[in-house]
């Protein structure tokens, strides 16, 4: 057998990968974007990135690397057959159901055409990948080939930075159709989620209540709300028409500890800044004996063990427009009033300003600022339309928070508090940045300066307003609001102290 250079070997494999396995990806991209430069860039990035990884794995792991590549090739064959035949994609939910499928349930999928496809496109090339005589070359050649391909990929990504909005709004589909990354990344995500769900959190020291006064706290976790677009912080548009009239509302200067949901929500719920998973606020208070309920239309929180956990479908009974965050308020008063426990904590995890389709987050009566863009392609051409939609989502948040306060005002025989803070901020086109997720050390202030409001009913001491707070103040302030005595309590981060 003739010897083949590793460069040629990897080039052949990445071309095969693009032509045989990424047709659905390219078709989807062509149908949804007519920017020729972007489409060509996507194809080249697929080629160069797969070349880079293939080269890296085969050069470093030699034969083992080729065996892994061959297995990947076979899985890509099966996955692509499945994607094309059933017009689907390799997203998280499909893979989850795949992993939960028993052998006898899978049998009907194995047809003659499936078998032929697997043998011709999967197994025969697999034999070649493992059996070929490959000349791995020197470290110098490795540096040139790997470095060159990576540089081209990065350059093209940078040249298409203006397309982040489009990619953001099609990320599920694009991610689910890119072979082999769709199933590799999503399988890793499922594994991480399963591990997290079973993760043992480090318990905090036992706590107790210092009295049996009846209290209820509603903690609202915001999504992508930024301080700069709230009129309560000086924004020129009236985006807080209702909260600005609430007597005794405290408006605090807050910073998020991260710029993405998973880390932001964790920071709100944990007692100090840590990479470890300590017992989070709802679990801790549940264990201490409070009534705790988690209501969510979002995701990404650390595992909630113990408290009642209600998702949109559980909350939607009798709600007309259950696709909006108002569903979180359904039965809120009844839950508080019917609780036998002296201390009640209800956490609402909202989704109100989640991008990029901000205009889909609020009911039509909140469309105060128009026109709004209903697709992101427009947003790049008419940035004001994106801001209009975002501002409307803040107005809707204002309405929801005011509703909660109105509800709490009429709760009988309990002191009540509403505490709102966003998980992180949002970029709306400043310096061509959109959405969020820039590492916190480099992030622009729009991505970490978040709105934070607290309202207390009579029966509570007043709160102080420090120059600036971070998300960990929530944990300690809520402990105090519910009269919890705990060695984990830090008075320096308590708004009531």
List of residues contacting Zn ion (CB under 5 A)? 223, 261, 423
Residue 472 is given by DSSP the state: T
Contacts of 112 (CB under 8 A, 6+ apart): none
Task: Pick the closer one to Zn ion by CB: 239 or 298.
Answer: 298
C-alpha closest to that of 182 among 30, 110, 78? 78
Task: Pick the closer one to Zn ion by CB: 319 or 438.
Answer: 438
SS3 of residue 375 by DSSP:
coil
CB of 298 to Zn ion, least distance (A): 7
CB of 301 to Zn ion, least distance (A): 11
Q: Tell me the residue number closest to Zn ion, measured at CB.
A: 261
Task: Pick the closer one to Zn ion by CB: 267 or 335.
Answer: 267
CB of 241 to Zn ion, least distance (A): 24
Task: Pick the closer one to Zn ion by CB: 338 or 360.
Answer: 360
Q: Is residue 148 exposed (0-12), middle (13-18) or buried (19+ Cβ within 10 Å)? A: middle
C-alpha closest to that of 417 among 494, 322, 362? 494
- Sign of the Cα pseudo-torsion (324, 330, 336, 341, in order): negative
CB of 239 to Zn ion, least distance (A): 19
Contacts of 456 (CB under 8 A, 6+ apart): 248, 415, 416, 417, 462, 463, 481
Task: Pick the closer one to Zn ion by CB: 301 or 480.
Answer: 301
Task: Pick the closer one to Zn ion by CB: 166 or 260.
Answer: 260
Residue 223: both structure tokens together:
């999504």
CB of 224 to Zn ion, least distance (A): 5
User: Phi/psi at 438 (nearest 5 deg)?
Assistant: -70, 135
CB of 32 to Zn ion, least distance (A): 24
CB of 328 to Zn ion, least distance (A): 15
**DSSP per residue, 36-76:** HHHHHHHHHHHHHHHHHHHHHHHHHHTHHHHHHHHHHHHHH
Answer whether 26's CB lies under 8 Å from 174's CB: no
CB of 437 to Zn ion, least distance (A): 9
Please give the Cα distance from 237 to 230 (Å, whole number). Answer: 8
Task: Pick the closer one to Zn ion by CB: 223 or 494.
Answer: 223
CA 394 → CA 219, 241, 300, 435, distances in Å? 17, 10, 21, 15
Answer whether 472's CB lies under 8 Å from 255's CB: no
CB of 424 to Zn ion, least distance (A): 5
Task: Pick the closer one to Zn ion by CB: 268 or 332.
Answer: 268
Residues forming beta bridges with residue 348, ordered by sequence position: 220, 295
CA 115 → CA 24, 75, 77, 112, 121, distances in Å? 20, 13, 11, 5, 10
Q: Which residue reads 């979002």 in tokens?
A: 298
CB of 483 to Zn ion, least distance (A): 31
Task: Pick the closer one to Zn ion by CB: 167 or 249.
Answer: 167
User: Phi/psi at 370 (nearest 5 deg)?
Assistant: -135, 165
Residue 473: both structure tokens together:
């103040």
Task: Pick the closer one to Zn ion by CB: 258 or 469.
Answer: 258
Residue 456: both structure tokens together:
């207390």
Residue 411: both structure tokens together:
């709760």
Answer whether 316's CB lies under 8 Å from 242's CB: no
CB of 195 to Zn ion, least distance (A): 21
Residue 56: both structure tokens together:
């890296």
Task: Pick the closer one to Zn ion by CB: 261 or 427.
Answer: 261
CB of 261 to Zn ion, least distance (A): 3
Task: Pick the closer one to Zn ion by CB: 13 or 348.
Answer: 348
Determine how many CB atoms are found less than 10 A away from the CB of residue 323: 13
Please give the Cα distance from 321 to 197 (Å, whole number). Answer: 31
């Amino acid at each position: 057998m003739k010897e083949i250079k590793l460069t040629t070997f990897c080039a052949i494999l990445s071309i095969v990968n693009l032509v045989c396995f990424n047709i659905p990806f390219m078709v989807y991209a062509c149908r949804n974007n007519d920017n020729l430069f972007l489409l060509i860039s996507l194809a080249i990035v697929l080629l160069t990135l797969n070349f880079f990884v293939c080269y890296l794995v085969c050069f470093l792991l030699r034969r083992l690397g080729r065996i892994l590549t061959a297995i990947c090739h076979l899985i890509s064959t099966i996955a692509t057959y499945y994607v094309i035949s059933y017009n689907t994609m390799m997203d998280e939910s499909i893979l989850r159901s795949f992993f939960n499928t028993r052998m006898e349930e899978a049998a009907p999928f194995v047809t003659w055409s499936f078998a032929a496809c697997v043998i011709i496109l999967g197994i025969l090339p697999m034999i070649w990948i493992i059996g070929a005589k490959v000349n791995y070359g020197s470290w110098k050649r490795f540096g040139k080939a790997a470095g060159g391909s990576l540089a081209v990929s990065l350059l093209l990504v940078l040249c298409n930075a203006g397309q982040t909005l489009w990619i953001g709004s099609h990320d599920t589909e694009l991610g689910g159709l890119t072979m082999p990354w769709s199933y590799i990344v999503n399988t890793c995500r499922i594994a991480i989620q399963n591990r997290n769900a079973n993760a043992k959190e480090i318990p905090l020291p036992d706590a107790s209540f210092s009295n049996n006064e009846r209290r209820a706290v509603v903690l609202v976790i915001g999504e992508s709300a930024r301080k700069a677009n709230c009129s309560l912080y000086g924004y020129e548009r009236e985006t807080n028409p209702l909260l600005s009239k609430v007597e005794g509302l405290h408006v605090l200067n807050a910073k998020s500890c991260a710029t993405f949901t998973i880390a932001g929500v964790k920071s709100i719920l944990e007692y100090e800044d840590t990479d470890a998973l300590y017992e989070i606020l709802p679990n801790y208070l549940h264990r201490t004996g409070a009534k705790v309920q988690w209501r969510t239309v979002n995701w990404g929180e650390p595992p909630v063990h113990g408290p009642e956990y209600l998702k949109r479908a559980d909350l939607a009974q009798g709600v007309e427009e259950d696709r909006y965050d108002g569903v979180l308020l359904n039965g809120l008063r009844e839950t508080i009033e019917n609780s036998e426990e002296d201390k009640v904590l209800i956490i609402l995890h909202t989704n109100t300003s989640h991008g990029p389709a901000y205009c889909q987050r609020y009911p039509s009566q909140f469309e105060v600022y128009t026109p709004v863009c209903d697709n992101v392609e427009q947003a790049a051409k008419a940035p004001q339309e994106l801001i209009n939609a975002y501002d409307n989502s803040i107005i809707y948040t204002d309405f929801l928070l005011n509703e909660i306060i109105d509800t709490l005002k009429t709760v009988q025989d309990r002191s009540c508090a509403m505490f709102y803070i966003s998980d992180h901020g949002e970029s709306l086109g400043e310096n061509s940045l959109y959405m969020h997720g820039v590492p916190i050390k480099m992030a622009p202030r729009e991505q970490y300066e978040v709105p934070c409001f607290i309202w207390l009913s009579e029966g509570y001491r007043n709160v102080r307003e420090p120059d600036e707070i971070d998300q960990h103040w929530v944990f300690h302030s809520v402990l105090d609001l519910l009269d919890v005595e705990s060695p984990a309590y830090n008075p320096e981060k308590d708004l009531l102290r």
